[in-house]
């Protein structure tokens, strides 16, 4: 009789667990983790770009000493973007102010890099330098990777935010995950809609 009671309780618990999993109770945390992973990839790609910049600036500096203003803009924009990234709060993806600050610093760096690439057009020797060509190619590839990572992040945020706003998941989130907040997404600003122009 005791065995039947124990088995009955286990069967009831299994039925409840199955019912909860079927109703989507794990959807919110699963999608939240997907957003976090996509956000990590965005940061990873921006870090990759940031790591390329010192070598790019040094190469350009060797050929274009007179372009100090543009070089300084790139260095300052990189420093600001790095500082913003280091000081990101843990809730950055659901914190509109912090997210906007991060996005603005990255957009300023993109614009400064664009100006640097335009300046490089004036120096034929620089344009033919093998190091510069390799760095240009890496920068172009990185900008493409950033675009892909941002798109993946935007897609995962759209799925997550839709889950939080549609029924019945909205009710489930309200009961089991009351702290779940909509995530922020990137906005296209006019000057930042195109990656820096890289030409040979």
Interval 18-30: pLDDT, tens: 555 556 899 999 9
Give the C-alpha separation, 29 to 177, whole Å. Answer: 8
Measured at the CA of 43, the angle between CA 40 and CA 46, to 5 degrees, comes to 155
Phi, psi for 181 (deg, rounded to 5) = -120, 150
Could you give phi then psi for residue 65, rounded to 5 degrees? -55, -35
pLDDT digits (tens, 9 = 90+) for 69-126: 999 999 999 999 999 999 999 999 999 999 999 999 999 999 999 999 998 889 999 9
Mean pLDDT of 45-70: 92
Residues 157 and 93: beta-carbon distance below 8 Å: yes
Is pTM beyond 0.85? Reply is no
For the segment 168-185, the average pLDDT, to the nearest whole number, is 95
Report the distance separating Cα 200 and Cα 193, nearest Å: 21
The mean-pLDDT minimum among 17-26, 149-158, 174-183 falls in 17-26
Where are the domains positioned within the chain? 33-192
Asked whether residue 11 carries a pLDDT value surpassing 80, the answer given is no
Does domain 33-192 match CATH 1.20.140.10?
A: no
DSSP assignment letter at 177: -
């Amino acid at each position: 009789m005791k065995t039947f009671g124990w088995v009955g309780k286990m069967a009831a618990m299994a039925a409840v667990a199955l019912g909860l999993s079927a109703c989507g109770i794990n959807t919110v945390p699963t999608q939240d983790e997907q957003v976090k992973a996509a956000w990590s990839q965005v940061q990873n790609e921006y870090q990759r770009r940031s790591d390329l910049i010192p070598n790019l600036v040094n190469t350009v500096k060797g050929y274009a000493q007179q372009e100090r203003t543009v070089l300084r803009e790139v260095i300052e924009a990189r420093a600001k973007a790095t500082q913003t990234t280091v000081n990101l709060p843990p809730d950055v993806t659901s914190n509109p102010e912090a997210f906007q600050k991060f996005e603005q610093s990255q957009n300023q760096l993109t614009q400064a890099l664009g100006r640097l690439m335009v300046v490089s057009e004036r120096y034929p020797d620089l344009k033919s330098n093998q190091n510069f060509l390799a760095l240009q190619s890496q920068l172009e590839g990185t900008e493409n990777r950033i675009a892909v990572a941002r798109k993946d992040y935007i897609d995962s945020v759209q799925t997550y935010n839709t889950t939080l706003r549609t029924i019945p998941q909205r009710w489930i989130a309200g009961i089991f995950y009351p702290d779940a907040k909509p995530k922020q997404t990137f906005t296209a600003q006019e000057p930042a809609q195109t990656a820096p122009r890289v030409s040979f």
